Amino acid sequence: MGKNQYRAERPGTDTYYITTFGCQMNVRDTQTAAGILESMGYLPAADPKEAKVLLYNTCCIRDLAERKAYAAIGMAREIKAKNGGMVGVFGCMTQQTGAAQELMRRMPFIDFAFGTHQLHRLPEFIHAAQEKGRTTLFEEGNPALDFNLPAAYGRPPLAYTNIIHGCNNFCSYCIVPYVRGRETSKPMELILEEARTLMDQGFSEITLLGQNVNSYGNDWGKPQFAKLLRELDAIGVPRIRFMTSHPKDLSDEVIAAMAECSHVAKQIHLPVQSGSSRVLRRMNRKYTRGDYLCLVEKLRAAMPQVGITTDLIVGFPGESETDFADTLSLCETVRFDAAFTFNFSKRKGTAAFDMEGEVAKEVMTQRITTLIDTIKSISAKTYQGLVGTEQTVLIEGESSRDSSCYTGRIDRGITVNFPKGHGVVGDFVPVTITHAKANTLFGQER
């Protein structure tokens, strides 16, 4: 993107609004889109009804995400009719074969749509819309062209940075490799430069993002994620988190780096998806139940207080009652701090789309209810076990429910609410945990 090659029609006056669906990587892509727009002279709008440019950053990991995106985009017709602005759609949903063409056929008020790894061309699409032309672009993009774009990170203290795009794993239920492409690692010097800039801007916590951060550097011939953690720790990033980690690629070197680096949070999101080795094989996850439990043992041996969270899919084709019981027992064994639970969602183009053994919806509903109750019970015991301990909390902002309190997370990622004391947003403060509820700890600044 040439500097100032394309500009807002009224720089410093025209506004934009971006609606984001999906994961943290999509949030970071939205920040990149915002940075590009602001470099063109656009200002953020507080309300989509006021925006000259309306963008929708979409997700397709599950059918529900697509339906939500369609509903939100549909509301843009009236906004555009009133203010004469433009509407653009991008992201994973629009990268699927034929999806964006169908979207624009059904919603002719959309001015442009493009898939993944084309954010560097956003100014071109806006310029075309200004010239009253409609644009679509879904060719395979080059993620490296998006690595060094401007970004609007928002207010400190939390920041995201993408370190690797794409995925090479092809889990049988997952559309991500088809819409995000193959793994491409961001040069380490660019990550370190971005981290230094973020620290200079007052950010206290940086979360490293990737479909599989453990694969960082594999496209250069050798895994480099452990080295990256140590480099970020050495330059003094106050707190470092990362997600997501694929269990098959979690190495002893990464575990050692987590344990030995003082700035790396002792928390890991390690999606297991199922506790049944038979189901894991059908999912093409490339590890067994025993492999996963071995990783958990290594993590807890190196970091006894490590927080482990996970993803779990219920109702994968062919999942039996025995398979589901294996998932429940694995949860009891691992004692996850929290889990994101999902019913299996068919994704066209994946290997699981046509698999035999479809699980009835009522069975899935019953199983996921049981699973959620099990996770809640385990989490409650974990949270209660932290009562009376002193934890270091990064103050992230005011509590949404009580403006007299701050909210933040402890090292292992659990949220704490506590009355305002001497600390301010962005500070790390010692907090004594006084009591616990279902999803939150409560404490008192010491």
The average confidence (pLDDT) of the chain is 94
- pLDDT range class, residue 42, cuts 50, 70, 90: very high
Q: What is the pLDDT of residue 230?
A: 98
Q: What is the pLDDT of residue 24?
A: 92
Token pair 């040439």 in the structure block, residue: 2
How far, in Å, CA of 132 to CA of 381, rounded? Answer: 59
- Tell me: pLDDT of 63 over 90: no
Of residues 264 and 115, more confidently modeled: 264
Classify 76 as helix, strand or coil. Answer: helix
Q: Quote the DSSP letter at residue 46.
A: S
Q: 117-131 pLDDT, tens per residue? A: 889 999 999 998 888
Q: What percent of the chain has pLDDT over 90?
A: 83
Average pLDDT over residues 46-74: 92
Q: 201 — phi, psi (to 5°)?
A: -90, 0
Category of 315 on φ-ψ map: left (φ > 0), alpha (ψ -120 to 50) or beta: left
Strand-pair category, 205-209 with 239-243? parallel
- What pTM value is reported for the model? 0.93
Domains and CATH numbers, the chain: 15-142 (3.40.50.12160), 144-384 (3.80.30.20), 390-445 (2.40.50.140)
Confidence of residue 141 (pLDDT cuts 50, 70, 90): low
Residues 241-278 have pLDDT tens digits of 999 999 999 999 999 999 999 999 999 999 999 999 99
